Structure 1
Amino acid sequence: MASIDTLTPTPKKPSTGRRAVWIAVLVAIAWLAISGFVGPLAGKLNEVQKNDNASFLPASAESTLVADEQVGFSDNTSFPLLVVVTRPDGAAMSAADAATAAAVAAAIPGLPVEGGGTVADYLDPSPIIPFPSQDGNAFLINVPINGDKGGEKLTDGELAFGGITTAVRELALNYPDLQINATGPVGILSDLIKVFGAIDTTLLGATALVVAIILIIVYRSPFLWLIPLLAAGIALSTASAIVYYLAKNDVLVLNGQSQGILTVLVFGAGTDYALLLVARYREELHHHDQHAVAMRAAIRGVIEPIVASGATVIIGLMCLLLSELNSNRSLGPVGAAGIAAAVIVMLTFLPALLIIPSVVLPILAFLVPTIIGLILSLVTDIPIGPFVTIGGAFAGITVIGWIIFGILRVTRPGWGPFSRQNFPSGSWVFWPKMPRVDDTDERLSGVWSKVAKGVGRRPRLTWIATALVMLVFAGFSLTLKADGITTTQAFVERTDSVIGQEKLADHYPGGLGTPTVVMANTSALDEVLSTVQATEGVAAVAPYSGVPAGAPGAEMAEPMIVKDRVQLLVTLSAAADSPAASESVQLLRDRVHAIAGADALVGGQTASQLDVDIASVHDRNIIIPVVLGVIFLVLMLLLRSIVAPVLLIGTVLLSYFATLGVCALVFDNVFKFAGSDTSFPLFAFVFLVALGVDYNIFLMTRVREESIKLGTRPGILKGLTVTGGVITSAGVILAATFLVLGVLPLVFLREIGFAVAIGVLLDTFIIRSTLVPALAYDIGKKIWWPSKLAKSPE
């Protein structure tokens, strides 16, 4: 089978190259137009986020069933903002302090909410009074916010929950002698919203900056780094618009974590595909004197591994549809949309930009700032006028520059570094080091040539030593603590709500303000009530009467009965988001479920978190085997082999457990994290296996191509040599983009970013560079069994 390297360039008519250029121009303009259309939708992605556990759970979850029943007891769902008042020195509250706490409580309803009335407009009809702690060191003010009203958007786009919390925190500044913290479900939610609101700016900007720096280092060209970055940006805006439309129409549930992962996934994977195409295009320019012919050859060479890689990641992500959690299930389509957009853009828009001659630069110089201005003008108050002016200036400067250079190229053919000879169309993007026909490909004599020769000399020792090192790290995976963390432990920084939760736990029963809810038949009320009271971990319990706590007659009110069902409000001793509280809820469920005729159900915030943890374990046990199975099938079809896919899956699994081992060591001893979310192992697995297989696909498809020409063992060394640089660069970029998740102050995102980064680097520098090629070299041609290639001569 003839290889691309040995093809003799076919003479082309002059019009062929011009036609290819005009097609490229049309493709580039089409994508820029699409970007201008979808950009405004992508900018609204924050508006369709949902970040509460209840929206993640399936309808069959016990806590969801309780929430559905609660609607019958009250049309309005109240969410408490808990204001904790203490002294900075921790001393007992004085009479003057008590008066101040009362003044704070009285002032809260009248506080103005920026962009929407006063706090009183969002309150449920319950008295706002300070409750002293039993130790006399704190006062607790429960501010009951109507769930429907609190979820409304203010004129500045912020949720009313956040505006109310901000108003209370600003009020606290007026009392410097006391420490006043706003916490509880509303306070914590407000801090989460603030974090996720930074995704559009902080995360996107940091990701683009990191990718740009690495591309500049990799390419060492003033032009080339811009092209993959522009293509990745258009891929992200396209994917974000698709996700926005699906989330807005309730096809999927989008949370802040999924949005953050989408950004780094598109930039990371898209840049990987760009590196692969650019490297192959550079290689083909050594063999073809027409850039259009070289690009066609490059696309033929990379389309199979890029499509196979994208398909593998998409299929792996879509396996998350088997999840019981809406948040996990939606991450599949969200990530799949991002990968699909990256594949399509990098195989169409990127090649077009690479072969467009320099005369098109003025068009791009004008369009890019103008489109950015259009997008910003639609989603912010920034006017488009300055961007049009900037675009015009860029275009004008570019036109003047290229007119001067053009005249010099025509009148003085051998002039300077920008002559036709030194600056040819189609390869100018590689300036100052542009590939030439018949040049020696430096990759065949570089560092990766030495690595390949080292693997070929002692393959068995190489793969055994490498595997043993990885097994040592994998052993530490058994020490990973992934049994969940509290809501306050989910923040890297000590936010106001975190400090408030700590104060609340110090002076009040941990579950105060966020009660666990028990539903039961009226006929079993007495037995259920006595059973709940006798359960370990329960601080207090009372039937729901519909009369607000603290209101006249609240203590004497009869239990409210709806459809022969009663509701018990249970205050737990432990903090509502703690593992101890989850254990108490599980114990409650075990005991009340055993009461005959009660049909009891246990819900509430703690129960919702418990149901999320239970569903996470279920998802892990179901999805991991399915992902392995479908990826094995993809590899088997791609490589026409059974042995090679088994080898690749085995090495990726080894890399996964080694990564978990490194994470266990770093999380516990370096970052000092309290633990990991229960969904961490599943997310890490999906990303590490799907993305880790990518690099093996890039390597082994080239190895197979070279094995057909040279034989298996020489083909392995040639494949490792020619792909080493580009795959290593791709791995570094993908690792760096996921590390960018660390700019957001959430433990889960920092952990998943670190895990994927470390896993990708292990795959890039150890698994793909030494373990896989050494093991494949040791096995020889049998690695292709049962295909015909397994019977070919070495």
Structure 2
Amino acid sequence: MVSEGGGPMRLLTRVSMIAAGRRSRWVVIAAWLAFAMLAVPLQADLNERAADESETFLVRESESAAVKKIVDERFRLGSETAAVIVYFRESGITPDDGRRADTDALALCRSAAIPNLRMVATPYQRACGEADPLDMSPGASLLTSPDETVILSTVLMADDSTPDIEQAVAAIREVVPPATGDESGLRAFVTGRAGFEADRNAALGGVNGTLLAVTVAVLLLLLLVTYRSPLVALVPLAVVALAYLVTSGLAYGLVAAGATDISGQTTSILVVLMFGAGTDYCLLIVARFRDELRRTRDVREAMVAAARRTGPAIVSAGAIVIGTMTILALADFNATREMGPILALGVAVMVCAGLTLLPAVLTALGRRAFWPAVPRLDPGSAPVITFWERVAGLVHARPGVIAAAVAAVLAAGALAGLGGRPALDFSESFREAPDSVLGQQVIRDHFIPGRAAPLRIVVADDVAGKVQSALTEGTHTPVADMHAVARSVGADGSSPGAEAQGRPGSANDLITFDADLRMDPFSEQATDAVPALREVAERAAGGRTVMIGGTVAENYDARQALGRDTGLIVPVSLALILVVLAVLLRAVVMPLYVIATVILSFGFALGVSSLVFTHLMGQPASDPNLPIYAFIFLVALGVDYNVFLLGRIREQRRKHETRRAVTEALARTGGVITSAGLVLAATFATLMVIQMESLFQIGFVVTLGLLADTFLVRALLVPALAIMLGERNWWPFNATALPPEAPAHGESRRQPGRIVSASRTLPR
């Protein structure tokens, strides 16, 4: 830790003194309440912005993103989002079923509930919408399954914003037969890109409220068990809630200014991160404040002392999380990149609240905050949890055995994940298959599988025929059918020249085609086929503009981007954490093995969860985002708890040599840091209530990793390694023990060869 005379320490002490002042504490509380009240109206606006995820899962500067941009900007009839209605009767479609499809189409045409409706078509008619001169859409034979059990209708909309898609799909499902079947047994499923987006958003709909309710309930229970006081259990939650409201307001400001974007996934993780990490920061101050109240009668003096002792660790831990989250802004994958600034902002606001609002509230409440377990003035005692005294003694006596045993367990778990897991396809993305997935499965079983999510191809019109032939003829490509959708036009109706990103330009007009694959477009096989398709198309175009986008290509580009992002973000994050720890501890050796142990717990969590998902849950596939998200959260937050322990070791080392400092620090901090670890693990576990498999997996892996870090790494492995290395922990800056100081008023009594606390002694 920095010395008590250092500038940073003086600044933290000054902040705490102001926040805990007799009059200034009310100013601090009023200011936070005012900021939070101003931010409340912006909550709805932020959620509305987060609901639109039309760009969230794209990759910046990728070919698929360029296709989407060109189609949106240059094609009058090419920028539609399609909802595919799957009419299914197992015994065979009847003439009445065909008439029902036509009737539904006309009803949808007359409906005012579908925003930006462009066209509705059945196998038998175009119910509404103008035909493009180049239109070669599939005819009735291609919209009726070979076994005549399925017919398809299409609803095209001119906008792909998520709220409009949700509204449109809801309106369609009100008109068509239910997925369970009508009175005649005819079933209808709404699928296609619009159906997928609507069902995904429905799975996340209201999730922030659910997460908040579950998180608050879990945290309240844990805090009541820890402190046995209802008031002090509510205080941290109230502080975090106000910080969350302020963060939401600031985040909306950033989004409105165009500085970043936000998605529903980001807002969900923001809730979990702020309530988990924020409550932990509050716990450290509350625990130290309670200790100081036993040593001094003056409440303000107790708070200043508590903040002086815990402030540097909180700021350092917060800096690690803020820095790590900010690094996410380097990612190419939009969902990852946009998450970074928002999460970093949330943690920064939480640190400020922990160092200002919490001290103000606690000093205003005084000892009453801990009722009925009010801490009594007892300067001669040092509160130590007996269980952690025994753990500290065990680690002190057998550091080598404990370090080897824990490392072996973690390594064995990590090895379980070396085989890797296939990526989740769309049908596996939900805990329970929604309407769109069921519809896609019907298409896959009875049609060309790619009909529900075609490739989108943009090509110069003078080579369009060559590209179409190259992609559809022969067995070397998996394209089964291709049909033109539209020709590019300028704002005045003219046909502009093309300057396509990532491909040579063409002076000719552009045409966009949809191409249906012979395979399930959401399978890994389809994703793997994208680079070969692009190579074939580019060769056929002979240097003219040609680009392939659509859902399948977007999945491929996302997978490639995630690999690149991992290769960049992981080393940069580790370097940042190493620098922060080296500055905090003024050493290199200890930061190196601390980072190594946290990486080991990350590998353990990923490996063991792989076994659980595959063999216990029957889900061998993995979300492609899982490794990088789990790494970021586990490493950043895992190092957090080590910072709390290491900061106390550094503090104790000002009185003792390293081995004794480690043992006493573990005995004194074991309870509060373990409680903090349980709190954070419990908050991430709430992600498992969400019906999206990706967030469920993130919640499971991070929870498992945090538990491993709390009970194995931080409680046993790191202290054991620190004891084994002794004074070498501090190489190269301070290889010898710091000069001992006289015990502070109320500190434990020391005797040679023993660590003496309230009632127990530990072998030295």
TM-score where L is the length of structure 2:
0.85
Q: Deviations over 1:729-779 (max 9, x none)?
A: 001110010111111100111111111111111111000000000111011
Counterparts of 1:543 and 1:159, CA distance in 2: 27
Distance 1:231 1:574 in 2: 52
The residue number in structure 1 matching 2:518 is 573
Mapped contact 1:211–1:737 kept (Cα < 8 A): yes
Aligned partner of 1:497 in structure 2 is: 436
| Letter aligned with residue 467 of structure 1 | A
Check the 8 A contact 1:521/1:564 in 2, yes or no.
Answer: yes
> How far is the alpha carbon of 1:440 from its aligned partner?
6.0
Aligned partner of 1:759 in structure 2 is: 705
Distance 1:134 1:19 in 2: 77
Deviation by residue 1:93-137 (Cα, 9 ceiling, x = unmatched): 2333333333333333234xxxxx344x63213534463211111
Could you tell me how far apart the structure 2 residues matched to 1:29 and 1:306 are?
Answer: 24
Correspondent of 2:534 among 589, 601, 604:
589
Q: Hey, what does 1:33 align to over in structure 2?
A: 34
Q: CA deviation at 1:165?
A: 4.1
1:93 pairs with 2:93: yes
Task: Name the SS for the 2:655 alignment partner.
Answer: helix
Residue correspondence of structure 1 range 144-155 to structure 2 within 5 A? 144-147=156-159
Q: Quick one: which amino acid aligns to residue 352 of structure 1?
A: A
Q: Does 1:651 align with 2:597?
A: yes
User: In the alignment, is the contact (CA less than 8 A) between 1:183 and 1:496 conserved in 2?
Assistant: yes
8 Å contact from structure 1 (residues 708, 789) kept in 2: no
Q: Distance in 2 between matches of 1:173 and 1:688?
A: 43
Sort the Cα spacing of 1:165 and 1:453 in 2 relative to 1 into closer, same or farther, 3 A.
farther
Alignment of 1:301-450 (within 5 A): 301-357=309-365, 426-438=366-378, 441=381, 443-444=383-384, 446-450=386-390
Q: CA deviation at 1:225?
A: 0.5
Which residue of structure 2 aligns with residue 84 of structure 1? 86
The equivalent of 1:454 in structure 2 is 394
Query: Any residues of structure 2 matched to 1:594-613 within 5 Å, and which?
Result: 594-595=539-540, 596-613=542-559
1:127 aligns with 2:72: no
Q: Which residue of 2 aligns with 1:419?
A: none
CA drift at 1:318: 0.8
Q: CA deviation at 1:18?
A: 13
Which residue of the partner structure matches residue 477 of structure 2? 536
Cα RMSD after superposing both structures: 2.6
One-letter code of the match for 1:236?
A: Y
Contact 2:76 2:486 in 1 (8 A): no
- Retained in 2: the 8 A contact 1:443–1:721? no
Find the residue that maps to 1:467 and give its secondary structure: helix
The amino acid that maps onto 2:401 is L
Number of aligned residue pairs: give it. 688
What is the DSSP-based 3-state SS (H/G/I as helix, E as strand, rest coil) of the residue aligned with 1:485? coil
Residue 186, structure 1, aligned to residue 194, structure 2 = yes
Cα distance between partner residues in 2 of 1:83 and 1:668: 33
Aligned-partner Cα distance in 2 for 1:20–1:477: 53
Distance (Å, rounded) in 2 between the aligned partners of 1:585 and 1:136: 31
Check 1:232–1:166 CA distance in 2 against 1; reply closer, same or farther (3 A cut): farther
Contact 1:459 1:775 in 2 (8 A): yes
Q: Distance in 1 between matches of 2:599 and 2:21?
A: 44
CA contact (8 A) 1:17 1:290 kept: no
- Residue pair 2:108, 2:175 contacting (<8 A) in 1 also: yes
Percent of aligned positions that are identical: 34
Bigger Cα displacement from structure 2, 167-176 vs 287-296: 167-176
2:426 corresponds in structure 1 to 487
Structure 1 window deviating more from structure 2 (70-79 vs 459-468): it is: 70-79
**What is the deviation of 1:151?**
5.7
Aligned mate of 2:588, from 617, 634, 642: 642
Kindly tell me: are residues 570 and 445 of structure 1, through their superposed partners in 2, closer, same or farther at Cα, counting changes over 3 Å?
A: closer
Q: Distance in 2 between matches of 1:343 and 1:781?
A: 32
Which of 613, 630, 636 matches 2:576?
Answer: 630
Distance in 2 separating the partners of 1:152 and 1:605: 19
**Partner SS for 1:143:** strand
Contact 1:518 1:570 in 2 (8 A): yes
Distance between the aligned counterparts of 2:20 and 2:97, measured in 1? 81
Give matches, 1:50-69, under 5 Å.
52=53, 54-69=55-70
Q: Secondary structure at the match of 1:124?
A: strand
Which stretch shifts more, 665-674 or 267-276? 665-674
The answer (yes or no) to whether the contact 2:67–2:456 under 8 Å persists in 1 is: yes
CA contact (8 A) 2:626 2:694 kept: yes
Aligned match of 2:280 in 263, 272, 276? 272
Contact (CA 8 Å) 1:711, 1:793: kept in 2 or not? no
Structure 2 distance, partners of 1:629, 1:182, is 48
Residue of structure 1 in register with 2:290 after alignment: 282
- Post-superposition offset of 1:59: 4.6
Gaps of 5+ in 1: 5-15, 112-116, 358-425, 548-560
Amino acid at match of 1:501: Q
Amino acid at match of 2:153: I
Deviation at 1:301, TM superposition (A): 0.3
Per the alignment, residue 381 of structure 1 pairs with: none
Quick one: structure 1 residues 469 and 733, their matched pair in 2 at CA, closer, same or farther if it must change by over 3 Å?
A: same
Q: Which stretch shows the higher mean deviation, 646-655 or 174-183?
A: 174-183
**Cα distance in structure 1, aligned partners of 2:620 and 2:146:** 29
SS at match of 1:477: coil
CA contact (8 A) 1:165 1:190 kept: no
Distance 1:334 1:203, change over 3 A: same
Q: Given the alignment, which residue of 619, 622, 627 partners 1:681?
A: 627
1:466 to 2:412 alignment: no
Residue 774 of structure 1 is matched in structure 2 by 720
Contact 1:479 1:664 in 2 (8 A): no
Task: Tell me if structure 2 keeps the 8 A contact 1:783–1:790.
Answer: no
Determine helix, strand or coil for the equivalent of 2:537. Answer: helix
CA distance in 2, matches of 1:674, 1:654: 22
Q: Could you tell me whether the CA contact under 8 Å between 1:485 and 1:677 is conserved in 2? A: yes
SS of structure 2 residue aligned to 1:710: coil
- Which of 167, 177, 183 is the matching residue for 1:160? 167
**Do the aligned partners of residues 81 and 770 (structure 1) sit closer, same or farther apart at CA in structure 2, a change above 3 Å counting?**
same
1:527 correspondence with 2:466? yes
> 2:416–2:611: 8 Å Cα contact kept in structure 1?
yes
1:755–1:55 Cα change, 3 Å: closer
Give CA-to-partner distance per residue, 1:281-339, whole Å, 9 cap, x none.
Answer: 11111211111101000000011000000000010111111101222111111110111
Give 5+ residue unaligned stretches, structure 2: 5-16, 125-142, 489-505, 741-764
CA distance in 2, matches of 1:173, 1:668: 30
Q: For the Cα contact (< 8 Å) 2:454–2:551, is it kept in 1?
A: yes
Cα distance change of structure 1 residues 59 and 786 upon mapping to structure 2, 3 Å threshold: closer
Q: Which residue of 2 aligns with 1:142?
A: 154
Contact 1:308 / 1:638 at 8 angstroms: preserved in 2? yes
* Contact 1:492 1:746 (8 Å CA) reproduced: yes
Q: Which amino acid letter does the alignment assign opposite residue 441 of structure 2? A: E
TM-score (norm 1): 0.82
State the AA in 1 paired with 2:479. Answer: V
**Does 1:23 find its partner at 2:24?**
yes
Partner SS state of residue 82, structure 2:
strand
Q: CA separation in 2, counterparts of 1:565 and 1:239?
A: 45
Distance 2:197 2:175 in 1: 14
Q: 1:514 to 1:532 in 2, by over 3 A?
A: same
Question: What is the distance in 1 between the residues matched to 2:275 and 2:381?
Answer: 28
Q: CA deviation at 1:545?
A: 5.1
Larger deviation, residues 607-616 vs 586-595:
586-595
Deviation sequence 1:483-515 (CA, Å, 0-9, x none): 532223111112111211111211111211432
Partner of 1:515: 454
